Amino acid sequence: MAVSKTKKSTNKKTSKSNVAKKTTSKKVNKKTTSKKVNKKTTSKKVNKKTTSKKVNKKPSKSIAKKPTKQQRTKVICISHKEDCDGISSAALIRQAFGGDAILVDYPGQMEAINQVVLDKKLKSLFICDLGLSKKTQDEFIDIMTRLRKNKVSVTYIDHHDIDPTVVKALIKIKVKVIHDINECTAVLAYTAFKSKLNDHASFVAACAAITDYMETRPLGAKLLQIYDRQFALISATVMTYNIVGHQREPDYLQYLVEELADSKFPHDIPNTYEFAQIQVEKLSQMIAKVKAGLKTMTNLGHMEILDAGASGAVNFVMGLSGKDVGVAYKERVDHGIYAVSVRGSKNCNVHLGKIVNLLATSLGGSGGGHDKACGAVVPKPKIKKFITELNKKIK
Ligand SMILES: [Mn+2]
């Protein structure tokens, strides 16, 4: 551990200095590339700004109520921080619309959404790759209603299982809903905003499709076939290891979003491959830990994870247990909950996302996701019950 810590900090230092060095060249490139590729976006932005300034300035001058009439100019994207799909989606939104990303996990999701409502400069909000559950959906609709009353434009892009009544409610208040369970969020964002994105954006989306197991879906497959498969696989994998390994470093995750938005390949971002090597070593140690700590029930394998993310361990838990469902859970001491990751094998015939949504909600938590990959937030004292009940429900 001590060795890897030292390695980590050395790498960080190097990466920072490299970053600083590269920023200069980046800026130059950025300008040229964005001029070439994003002419549409830039001119649109300029037009938008001038129009809104013209429209808004005149009344404020004539009435002279400067403090009460604030201009809404901010673009914000709230996206999932834990995987390549969320980070890539944030990058695509940034390239297409500019603005800042707020990167969250499921336990922090509603808090962040509640915070942006208070931002009086918010003009346009994108919410990406953050599924809703029985527990969060009503509050979500309430907040969106408040935003819409303030004339904030809201776009919700996601591919997790969703209650159809929620989609109806969102469309009714004119939230733009881009939802399809058959493709990953970044591919949906790419498809929707293609005209505002450059060629490289298709690569960012293809990497997201790979890490979400959705590179064989119609749109995802088309994007992947533009690129060499092996090149895309290694890029997506290195990205994922850098995202997973930097969950506690929000600045680094922001930096990744910026670099991807700036059309960088993962290998062009300093130290990503070295960092991935460290993560791979940790994962190989995880195999031994899971073998030693794994517990099984009739229909599932489960394990509490202490020193890594639950989502990094869950595939090993499933695979090594020989069961068709694996559950890994990690305590979030600051939230009094367990963050739970659930995976199903190809033989798993139940929709785990739907089951976990209902079960976690009934225990005072929340959850949901896909048929074979989902997650939950479960109150600390209810974790045993969650596992025994899940075991009963997945026969
Ligand atoms: Mn996703």
Average pLDDT, the chain: 86
pLDDT at 123 over 90: yes
Which tokens sit at 66? 């400067």
Question: According to the model, what pLDDT value does residue 54 have?
Answer: 44
Same domain, 255 and 324: no
Same domain, 146 and 99: yes
Same domain, 171 and 233: yes
CB atoms within 10 A of CB 178: 17
Q: Is residue 276, in this structure, part of any structural domain at all? A: no
The Å distance, Cα 142 to ligand 1 centre, comes to 24
Q: Is residue 117, in this structure, part of any structural domain at all? A: yes
Q: Is residue 22, in this structure, part of any structural domain at all? A: no
Same domain, 222 and 306: no
Question: According to the model, what pLDDT value does residue 379 have?
Answer: 96
Within the chain, residue ranges assigned H as helices are 2-37, 39-63, 84-97, 109-117, 137-149, 164-172, 185-192, 201-211, 218-224, 229-245, 250-261, 272-293, 310-321, 352-362, 383-393
The Å distance, Cα 193 to ligand 1 centre, comes to 17
Sheet with 337-344: list strands edge to edge.
Answer: 295-296, 301-304, 325-332, 337-344, 373-379, 366-369
pTM as predicted: 0.78
The Å distance, Cα 184 to ligand 1 centre, comes to 5
d(CA 294, CA 333): 22
Same domain, 190 and 320: no
Same domain, 195 and 293: no
Q: Could you tell me which residues come within 8 angstroms of residue 70 by beta carbon, excluding any fewer than 6 positions away?
A: 120, 121
The Å distance, Cα 238 to ligand 1 centre, comes to 17
Question: According to the model, what pLDDT value does residue 67 have?
Answer: 55
Comparing 165 with 67, the larger pLDDT belongs to 165
Mean pLDDT for 163-183 is 97
The Å distance, Cα 278 to ligand 1 centre, comes to 25
The Å distance, Cα 382 to ligand 1 centre, comes to 27
The Å distance, Cα 303 to ligand 1 centre, comes to 24
Comparing 285 with 56, the larger pLDDT belongs to 285
The Å distance, Cα 129 to ligand 1 centre, comes to 5
d(CA 126, CA 113): 10
The Å distance, Cα 93 to ligand 1 centre, comes to 15
The Å distance, Cα 86 to ligand 1 centre, comes to 6
The Å distance, Cα 222 to ligand 1 centre, comes to 18
Total number of domains in the chain: 2
Q: Is residue 55, in this structure, part of any structural domain at all? A: no
Domain C-terminal end among 270, 297, 326: 270
Same domain, 37 and 164: yes
Q: How sure is the predictor about 222, in pLDDT bands with cuts at 50, 70 and 90?
A: very high
The Å distance, Cα 95 to ligand 1 centre, comes to 19
User: Could you tell me if 326 and 318 are in contact, meaning their C-beta atoms sit under 8 angstroms apart?
Assistant: yes
Question: According to the model, what pLDDT value does residue 308 have?
Answer: 78
Q: Could you tell me which residues come within 8 angstroms of residue 159 by beta carbon, excluding any fewer than 6 positions away?
A: 129, 179, 180, 181, 182, 183, 184, 185, 188, 212, 214, 370
Beta strand 325-332 with 74-80 is: unpaired
Q: Could you tell me which residues come within 8 angstroms of residue 24 by beta carbon, excluding any fewer than 6 positions away?
A: none
Q: What is the pLDDT of residues 311-322, one digit of tens each?
A: 889 999 999 999
The Å distance, Cα 197 to ligand 1 centre, comes to 20
Residue 385, domain CATH: 3.10.310.30
d(CA 356, CA 359): 5
Same domain, 144 and 249: yes
Domain C-terminal end among 243, 270, 297: 270
Question: According to the model, what pLDDT value does residue 147 have?
Answer: 97
Amino acid 184 reads C
Comparing 224 with 41, the larger pLDDT belongs to 224
pLDDT at 219 over 50: yes
Amino acid 75 reads V
Classify the phi-psi angles of 98: left when phi > 0, otherwise alpha if psi is within -120 to 50, otherwise beta. left
Q: Is residue 6, in this structure, part of any structural domain at all? A: no
Same domain, 103 and 233: yes
Question: According to the model, what pLDDT value does residue 295 have?
Answer: 97
Same domain, 332 and 227: no
- Collapsing DSSP to helix, strand or coil, 234 comes out as helix
The Å distance, Cα 180 to ligand 1 centre, comes to 11
The Å distance, Cα 163 to ligand 1 centre, comes to 17
**What percentage of the chain carries pLDDT values higher than 90?**
74
Q: How sure is the predictor about 257, in pLDDT bands with cuts at 50, 70 and 90?
A: very high
Q: Is residue 277, in this structure, part of any structural domain at all? A: no
Q: Is residue 280, in this structure, part of any structural domain at all? A: no
Q: How sure is the predictor about 3, in pLDDT bands with cuts at 50, 70 and 90?
A: very low
Same domain, 168 and 307: no
Q: Is 348 exposed, middle or buried (0-12, 13-18, 19+ CB in 10 A)?
A: buried
pLDDT at 29 over 50: no
Comparing 58 with 257, the larger pLDDT belongs to 257
Q: How sure is the predictor about 69, in pLDDT bands with cuts at 50, 70 and 90?
A: low
Comparing 335 with 342, the larger pLDDT belongs to 342
Q: Is residue 378, in this structure, part of any structural domain at all? A: yes
Residue 205, domain CATH: 3.90.1640.30
Which tokens sit at 53? 């300034």
Same domain, 212 and 239: yes
Domain C-terminal end among 245, 270, 295: 270
Range of the domain at 162: 33-45+72-270
